[in-house]
Amino acid sequence: MDLSQFSTIRVAACDLNGQMRGKRVPGDYAEKLDRGAVRMPLSVLNLDIFGADIEGSPLVFESGDADGMLRPTGRNPAPLPWLSAPQPLVPMAMYHDDGTPFDGDPRHALVAVLERYAARGWQVMAATELEFTLVDDSGDALKPVRSPRSGRRLNAPGILSMWQMDAFDEFLTALYDGCAAMDIPAQTATIEAGVGQFEVTLNHRDALSAADDTWLFKALIKGLARRHGFAATFMAKPFDDDAGNGMHMHFSVLDAEGRNVFDNGGPEGTDTLRAAVAGCIEGMSPSTLIFAPHANSYDRLVPGAHAPTSATWAYENRTAALRIPGGPPVARRIEHRVPGGDINPYLSFAAILGAAMIGIEDDMTPPAPITGNAYEHDAPGLAADWRTAIERFGASEMMARIFPEGLIRNLMMTKRQELDQMSRIPHEAWWKTYLETV
């Protein structure tokens, strides 16, 4: 894509909450982007969910709010189909002036984890399943979306309903067209268990591209929904008495010859798979903050509500936190079912893949796989609340082996500030903060 033909383009990096932070610049900046022509304060990637600086942050108060350089990630520029005028987005990452990666950039954290796999000659392949809910936010209270066909509000789930899918055909067609234009490999779309809830599966590819896909997909969904007269949200729990939104991540690992290191020719998988499972089990509780990063996230993590609440694994069992799907052995993989739809994709991928690698490095052994309903098993739980999750994340030796010290510090400061602010907002008004920010 020749960016110079556009009057303006957009450049943006991902902050700790997964939001795009960047600028609108003239199209002729395109040839200068690799040289760091676009600068932003390093602290911009460490803003809270309201877009405010973090009180006491050393990025602001000790460094003088110094600038960093934005450089392209290497992902192709993406059109933004929800905008009226063509304005491609160039995904960016943050660097210091000497060219070293800024350790508060969540994408760099994932790159560092993937380099540990690459050092073994391995490549991680990943895909996500993302749930979102279409809603009506035109009043003082969040309400179910109206059917574009009848104009009436949806009042019941339409699990796998083709009739309900037909009602939203114009939106879904625009979604698939938008994914194709943005090089997001969308696969199946289904109606899920919540009122107005959909799930879209993205095709597997290398893990960094899959995380990029997920980040861009969330922006696409929100933008297109507005163009079609409603809102879309990835809030973990849009309605108290309805199903929540999750993000399921599938991953496998290929060696230098392209062989799946989880495949032993049978349904049980290799010792490497079990070591990766053990790492993910060990890392689940301390990384609860990554998988449930907001006040509303903990409304989803309740027993029996289609979201895992304990560190369990199983073969072909969707109540477990980690599921080993069936199918051909060559496709043996791990499905991580804990993250909510409100996550930062780069942090979630890094936490999951980092824990799996530690399991492999340390030759961990997992507990026995469960059978039956995971909610009925006595297993270690996730952090029960937001405050506990923050402190457990910061105290974890495993998290310190996955994330750089600066990112851990910044994320904890961000979440402590948000915890204080959200405690002053009535629960029924939380959606006004999270509807479009997550």
- More confident site: 303 or 94: 94
DSSP at 146 = B
Could you give the percent of the chain with pLDDT greater than 90?
87
CA distance 287 to 297: 13
> Are 134 and 90 members of one domain?
no
Question: In the block, which residue shows the tokens 């923050």?
Answer: 390
> Are 199 and 51 members of one domain?
no
Q: Quick one: average pLDDT of 306-335?
A: 92
> Are 46 and 125 members of one domain?
no
> Are 56 and 82 members of one domain?
yes
Could you give the percent of the chain with pLDDT greater than 70?
99
CA distances (Å), 289 to each of 204, 252, 338, in order? Answer: 25, 24, 11
Helix 386-395, helix 405-422: angle, nearest 10: 160
Contacts of 376 (CB under 8 A, 6+ apart): none
pLDDT at 336 > cutoff 80: yes
Residue type at 383 in one-letter notation: A
> Are 72 and 118 members of one domain?
no
Q: How far is Cα of residue 238 from the mean position of the Cα atoms in its chain?
A: 17
User: Which of residues 62, 79, 102 is at a domain's end?
Assistant: 102
> Are 226 and 323 members of one domain?
yes
Give tens-digit pLDDT for 419-437: 999 999 999 999 999 999 9
Q: Examine residue 108 and state whether it is found in any structural domain, yes or no.
A: no
Task: Return the pLDDT at 303.
Answer: 77
Average pLDDT, whole number, for the chain?
A: 95
* 305: confidence class by pLDDT, cuts 50, 70, 90: low
Number of domains comprising the chain? 2
> What's the CATH number where 43 sits?
3.10.20.70
pLDDT at 330 > cutoff 90: yes
pLDDT at 63 > cutoff 80: no
User: Which of residues 102, 131, 154 is at a domain's end?
Assistant: 102
The residues with which 82 forms a beta bridge, in sequence order, are none
CA distances (Å), 213 to each of 1, 56, 129, in order? Answer: 18, 34, 11
Task: Return the pLDDT at 290.
Answer: 98
Listed residue (83, 76, 235, 77) closest to 174, CA to CA: 83
Task: Return the pLDDT at 1.
Answer: 81
Looking from the CA of 6 toward its CB, the CA atoms found within 13 Å total 23
- More confident site: 379 or 82: 82
Listed residue (89, 85, 87) closest to 33, CA to CA: 89
Q: Residue 300 in contact with residue 382, Cβ under 8 Å?
A: no
> Are 42 and 126 members of one domain?
no
From the CA atom positions of the chain, what is the Rg in Å? 21
> Are 33 and 66 members of one domain?
yes
Domain region containing 388: 114-434
Q: Residue 108 in contact with residue 102, Cβ under 8 Å?
A: yes
> Are 78 and 142 members of one domain?
no
pLDDT at 88 > cutoff 90: yes
pLDDT at 61 > cutoff 90: no
| pTM score over 0.85 | yes
Give tens-digit pLDDT for 189-223: 999 989 999 999 999 999 999 999 999 999 999 99
pLDDT at 92 > cutoff 70: yes
Task: Return the pLDDT at 64.
Answer: 80
User: Which of residues 49, 81, 102 is at a domain's end?
Assistant: 102
DSSP at 179 = H
Give tens-digit pLDDT for 123-171: 999 999 999 999 999 999 999 999 999 999 999 888 888 989 999 999 9
Listed residue (219, 176, 206) closest to 13, CA to CA: 219
Token pair for 114: 């993937």
> Are 206 and 309 members of one domain?
yes
Phi, psi (rounded to 5 degrees) for 315? -95, 130
* 229: confidence class by pLDDT, cuts 50, 70, 90: very high
> Are 93 and 212 members of one domain?
no
Give tens-digit pLDDT for 390-418: 999 999 999 999 999 999 999 999 999 99
Residue type at 314 in one-letter notation: A
CA distance 27 to 82: 19
**Cβ atoms < 10 Å from Cβ of 43:** 22
> What's the CATH number where 203 sits?
3.30.590.10
CA distance 115 to 404: 14
Listed residue (196, 201, 199, 197) closest to 185, CA to CA: 201
The residues with which 324 forms a beta bridge, in sequence order, are 315
CA distance 28 to 3: 7
What is the signed CA dihedral for 53, 87, 6, 77, rounded to 10 degrees?
80
CA distance 110 to 212: 11
Q: Quick one: average pLDDT of 97-107?
A: 96
